[in-house]
Chains A and B, each alone.
Chain A
Amino acid sequence: MRKKIVVIVGLIIGLSIIALSTIQSTSDINEDVIIVNNKNLEIFYFNNLDPENPYNQDFSILSDKQINQLKKEFIQREVLVREAKRLGLDKIDSIISARLAQLGQQALVGEIIEFEDIELSEINDFFETNKSQYIESETISFSHIFFDTEESAKSYLLKLQKESDVEKLKRLINIGGIVFPYQKNYSKKPFSFVVGHFGEIGATNLFSLQKDIKNWQGPIRSSLGYHLVNVFNRTPMKQMALEDILPAVKRDYYDQLRKKDSKNIISNKILEYEIIDETKVN
């Protein structure tokens, strides 16, 4: 009998909660009623403040005039938001859904793996799988003489080719052309560096040249002008050894774990949902 009473009381309480929350949610979704109270206004006020601005006032000390202005803005915002929702615009706006997804992710992602706990064997496995990420780029080493026109570069090349005296040739190399804003000599530079000084077209042209210590090549064109080039070294792409870059690989592995961790949390959360897939795609 006692058990029965407990069950009945429990049922009554449960039904009351459901009934109350239904009433509450019904009032929440009454889109034609806008409740203006201090709590709503305060949240609205702070959501629209510039946090970098130290001139902001606390909500509690706003004047009546400011509160009335705030009310007007709040009501206008609420009306517009509800009208937009009524038209279903929140469902089709990609920025709103992307931002909500981002907020959801921040709220869900919790503890992460400790950096210090990572074992060397794990790093080794990670490195072996991702070896292609740890490649030293192809490089070029060269000197160049810069000209503003192709003709002046061509005629200077003839001058260099004709000169057989080593000392005179050295002098010609030193005094030739006009001043280049960056460097005259480049040692073991990758394409990504060269492109910053010679532009896309200049870097492409330079990397098309072969090593030739004895001869000046060109002229080649860059985005700034024309160049005679002496290529004294080229190095091919090279696989890096783990021992040389261990701290960097460890950090990358850690970042990957962090991302995986976050992915797992989201995947587990997805499992808590019932997904009704109405597409015909398998």
Chain B
Amino acid sequence: MFVRSFFIFFVYLLLIANLQANEYSPAVGKNYPDKLLWGDTHLHTNESADAWSIGNPNLTPSDAFRFARGEEVTSESGVRAKLRVPLDFFMVSDHATYLGVFKRIKAGDEDLIKRPLGKRWKDYMDNEDPRLFTEFVEGLNGNQEVSFNKEIYIPIWKEITENVDRFNQPGVFTAFIGYEWTPAPTGDNLHRVVIFKDDAKKAQEIIPFSALDSDKPEDLWNFLENYNKNTGGEAISVSHNSNISGGRMFPLKNSYGEAIDRAYADMRNRWEPLVEATQVKGDSETHPAVSPDDPFADYETWEGNIGRNETDRLERLSNTGECANTENYKCYRYKESETDRYRGSYVRPALRRGLEIQKKIGVNPFKFGVIGSTDNHTALAASAEDNFFGKFVDSEPGPGRMSNCMAGCDRPDGDGQGDLWRNWLISASGYAAVWARENTREEIFDAMKRKETYATTGPRMAVRFFGGWNFSKEDSYKPNFVEIGYTEGVPMGSDLGPRERGKSPGFLVMVSKDPNGANIERVQVIKGWIDSYGRSKEKIYDIAISDDAGENTVDVENATYSNSIGEAYISTFWEDPDFNPNQSAFYYVRVLEIPTPRWTTYDSAVFGIDIPSYVPKTHQERAYTSSIWYNP
């Protein structure tokens, strides 16, 4: 009897073991992120004090959500606007400093107006007193004299968050709750957007942390940690406009002037997994000063900090030719002595700096992924070159926007004395791409945390990027490419697994053009590594390049181009030919489209205006993936 029972039990065990080796259900274990979702996590509406003040008193977060999900909305300047293809996820990130306050004071909110500051601001508004702006600016600078008791934000935040929940449709359209933390100590941009995984009920357990609470990123991350501890909810921060941070976005020292240590690195990695690498105020991938061998580095570059007196830091490259025109920003550069600022201001040098710090302290503090977003203040998440609604209302479509200035600046001497930006400079960029399992808050948020994301300057090109030790050329042709990528390697945003003896890392890359856009000219892998002296290096490899690369089909007069050049689809394998197993490294993919008209060229054709000589006529839009890291 005992022997018989033992035998049956033994057979049963064998069956179970066999089933586990070969699952009965073929779908088991194949729950890979197979949905490419497009979104914008950075947009302002009339709840932001600056958007409200500079021409957008009417368009609300609801208008922004409607536009993002594909509905037609009439812009503040009266132009009808609609996205060609709706977004899959979206977040309004109005400024936490004075969130919703201007709008409500103007509308006569009794609770605000009964307070001394509210009353004063109401008087300013009624009398068009310019001190309203001064005090708003002081608030952004953290001046506690110009602040309300935080309780005023409770009903405002409640209204804003509940409205977001109304637009959230799991599986169809994801609406995130969020806001922007906007400090800029001494004019250096340290701005971050905060994205919540949670619904309104949970998010209402806090009041947004603003620049009036602190201008130190460490304090923001502490706030996010406490939110997590106290409520069980979760939120992350995403930095943006590192390009105008004066080198402070990716610093060597913390906010207290101490060298970065493990605690700082761990905290930053935990709460800030992403960087917004491209947006309306320029591109932050890299700069020619720190990537001199990269012929594509100078893309939508912004010099200096907005509105700052930079005369002591900038130099004019020439006074002749195109540079005779003092408005040509391309003719100014930081002085050689300022190069170090770029290293703390751009994504690629920051990834390199992260490896250098890792060598010293054992942890990489800049191990982030990338996304793109718009940062438009028009409630319209539009970033296509031929469907671009600008940064503020004064750069909405119209014949004047190419020659006018943000908020009416008028200092044509170009000496940097308080110059605001010329509107031709703004960039029709960008969007966030996320590889997720489902279109829900939880799935997209998790994808952001694991950095399975990438940035584009607007076009929706699809990019897959896997790294591993056992991939082959044949894998890149196989229909189960994605399954191979996940089972034999790791996706973008990850660390390569343990090295197999004698092998170099191999990468599977698949790229397809924006289904409604331009073909692809080339696919590149950008590698950064650290040499035995602890110095970081970078190199760019063209891993797939169209036969007609370098050609340009753009007809500037009519603002058209032809997909007769370039490729619609590229799937390939690349192995690092210069791999040194003792050197830590990162790899990311950059995709370049064929040349297409810039938004200013479309404007020229639509409105019949001339393009100034210093404004680029064509450009090559692009995508940047999150990195894959190798650690010896």
Residues of A within 8 A of B (CB): 42-43, 45-56, 58-59, 69, 73, 77, 95, 98, 102, 106, 111, 145, 148, 174-179, 181-183, 192-193, 195-200, 202, 222-225, 247-248, 251, 255
Cβ-defined contact, A48 with B308, below 8 A: no
User: In the complex, how many angstroms separate the beta carbon of B89 from the nearest chain A beta carbon?
Assistant: 13
Cβ-defined contact, B462 with A52, below 8 A: no
Cβ-defined contact, A178 with B568, below 8 A: no
What residue in chain B is nearest A93 (Cβ atoms)?
B400
A-B contacts, 10 of them at CB < 8 A, read A50-B406, A52-B306, A55-B305, A102-B77, A106-B58, A181-B510, A196-B516, A199-B516, A224-B513, A247-B166
Cβ-defined contact, A179 with B85, below 8 A: no
Contacting B307 at CB < 8 Å: which of A43, A50, A174, A200? A50
Closest 10 CB pairs of A and B: A46-B130, A181-B462, A53-B307, A199-B515, A55-B187, A179-B481, A196-B85, A50-B307, A54-B141, A181-B512
Which of B38, B54, B411, B569 is the most central at the interface, judged by chain A CB atoms within 10 Å of its CB?
A: B569
What residue in chain B is nearest A72 (Cβ atoms)?
B413
Q: A46-B133, A192-B70 are in contact. Are A51 and B308 (CB under 8 A)?
A: no
Cβ-defined contact, B137 with A56, below 8 A: yes
Q: A43-B130, A202-B515 are in contact. Are A224 and B568 (CB under 8 A)?
A: yes
CA gap between A251 and B62 in the complex, in Å = 10
- CB-defined contacts of B569 to chain A, threshold 8 Å: 148, 178, 224-225
Q: A51-B137, A98-B77, A196-B85 are in contact. Are A223 and B571 (CB under 8 A)?
A: no
What residue in chain B is nearest A170 (Cβ atoms)?
B26
CA gap between A174 and B480 in the complex, in Å = 8
Q: A106-B57, A183-B35 are in contact. Are A95 and B398 (CB under 8 A)?
A: yes
Q: A42-B130, A95-B400 are in contact. Are A50 and B515 (CB under 8 A)?
A: no
Interface size class of B (residues with CB under 8 A): 35 or more
**B residues 475-496 in Cβ contact with A at 8 Å:** 477-482
Residue B410 CB within 8 A of the other chain: yes
Cβ-defined contact, B408 with A47, below 8 A: yes
CA gap between A50 and B417 in the complex, in Å = 12
SS class of chain B's interface: helix, strand, loop or mixed? Answer: loop
- CB-defined contacts of A192 to chain B, threshold 8 Å: 70, 85-86
Residues of B within 8 A of A (CB): 34-36, 38, 50, 53-55, 57-58, 62, 70, 76-78, 85-86, 108, 130-131, 133-134, 136-137, 140-141, 166, 184-187, 305-309, 398-400, 406-411, 417-418, 420-421, 460, 462, 464, 477-482, 510-513, 515-516, 568-569, 571
CA gap between A106 and B58 in the complex, in Å = 8
- CB-defined contacts of B482 to chain A, threshold 8 Å: 179
- CB-defined contacts of A179 to chain B, threshold 8 Å: 464, 478-482, 510, 571
CA gap between A255 and B512 in the complex, in Å = 40
- CB-defined contacts of B417 to chain A, threshold 8 Å: 69
- CB-defined contacts of A111 to chain B, threshold 8 Å: 108
What residue in chain B is nearest A199 (Cβ atoms)?
B515
- CB-defined contacts of A53 to chain B, threshold 8 Å: 137, 184, 187, 306-308, 420
CA gap between A49 and B407 in the complex, in Å = 7
- CB-defined contacts of A174 to chain B, threshold 8 Å: 479-480
Cβ-defined contact, B78 with A98, below 8 A: yes
Which of B62, B137, B460, B481 is the most central at the interface, judged by chain A CB atoms within 10 Å of its CB?
A: B137
- CB-defined contacts of A43 to chain B, threshold 8 Å: 130
Cβ-defined contact, B130 with A55, below 8 A: no
Cβ-defined contact, B515 with A196, below 8 A: yes
- CB-defined contacts of A47 to chain B, threshold 8 Å: 130, 408
Cβ-defined contact, A50 with B140, below 8 A: no
- CB-defined contacts of B50 to chain A, threshold 8 Å: 51-52
What residue in chain A is nearest B60 (Cβ atoms)?
A255
- CB-defined contacts of A46 to chain B, threshold 8 Å: 130-131, 133-134
CA gap between A202 and B85 in the complex, in Å = 14
User: In the complex, how many angstroms separate the beta carbon of B426 from the nearest chain A beta carbon?
Assistant: 13
Cβ-defined contact, B77 with A51, below 8 A: no
CA gap between A195 and B477 in the complex, in Å = 25
User: In the complex, how many angstroms separate the beta carbon of B442 from the nearest chain A beta carbon?
Assistant: 19
- CB-defined contacts of B411 to chain A, threshold 8 Å: 48, 73
CA gap between A211 and B460 in the complex, in Å = 29
Which of A55, A95, A175, A197 is the most central at the interface, judged by chain B CB atoms within 10 Å of its CB?
A: A55
- CB-defined contacts of A77 to chain B, threshold 8 Å: 410
Contacting A197 at CB < 8 Å: which of B86, B421, B515? B515
What residue in chain A is nearest B417 (Cβ atoms)?
A69
User: In the complex, how many angstroms separate the beta carbon of B52 from the nearest chain A beta carbon?
Assistant: 10
Cβ-defined contact, B134 with A56, below 8 A: yes
User: In the complex, how many angstroms separate the beta carbon of B23 from the nearest chain A beta carbon?
Assistant: 15
Cβ-defined contact, B479 with A177, below 8 A: yes
What residue in chain B is nearest A106 (Cβ atoms)?
B57
CA gap between A48 and B406 in the complex, in Å = 9
Q: A179-B481, A181-B464 are in contact. Are A200 and B516 (CB under 8 A)?
A: yes
- CB-defined contacts of B134 to chain A, threshold 8 Å: 46, 56, 58-59
- CB-defined contacts of A145 to chain B, threshold 8 Å: 479
- CB-defined contacts of A198 to chain B, threshold 8 Å: 515
Which of A58, A148, A223, A255 is the most central at the interface, judged by chain B CB atoms within 10 Å of its CB?
A: A223
- CB-defined contacts of B53 to chain A, threshold 8 Å: 51
Which of A43, A53, A54, A77 is the most central at the interface, judged by chain B CB atoms within 10 Å of its CB?
A: A54
- CB-defined contacts of B516 to chain A, threshold 8 Å: 195-196, 199-200, 223
Cβ-defined contact, B85 with A178, below 8 A: no
What residue in chain A is nearest B460 (Cβ atoms)?
A196
User: In the complex, how many angstroms separate the beta carbon of A46 from the nearest chain B beta carbon?
Assistant: 3
- CB-defined contacts of A248 to chain B, threshold 8 Å: 166
CA gap between A174 and B483 in the complex, in Å = 12
Contacting B86 at CB < 8 Å: which of A48, A50, A196? A196
CA gap between A43 and B129 in the complex, in Å = 8
What residue in chain A is nearest B401 (Cβ atoms)?
A95
Contacting A50 at CB < 8 Å: which of B85, B141, B420? B420
CA gap between A182 and B463 in the complex, in Å = 10
CA gap between A145 and B569 in the complex, in Å = 15
What residue in chain A is nearest B409 (Cβ atoms)?
A48
- CB-defined contacts of B306 to chain A, threshold 8 Å: 50, 52-53
- CB-defined contacts of A49 to chain B, threshold 8 Å: 133, 137, 307, 407, 418, 420
What residue in chain B is nearest A105 (Cβ atoms)?
B58
Q: A95-B400, A98-B78, A202-B515 are in contact. Are A51 and B136 (CB under 8 A)?
A: yes
CA gap between A82 and B215 in the complex, in Å = 44
Which of A51, A192, A200 is the most central at the interface, judged by chain B CB atoms within 10 Å of its CB?
A: A51
- CB-defined contacts of A199 to chain B, threshold 8 Å: 515-516
Cβ-defined contact, B307 with A56, below 8 A: yes
Cβ-defined contact, B568 with A225, below 8 A: yes
CA gap between A144 and B133 in the complex, in Å = 57
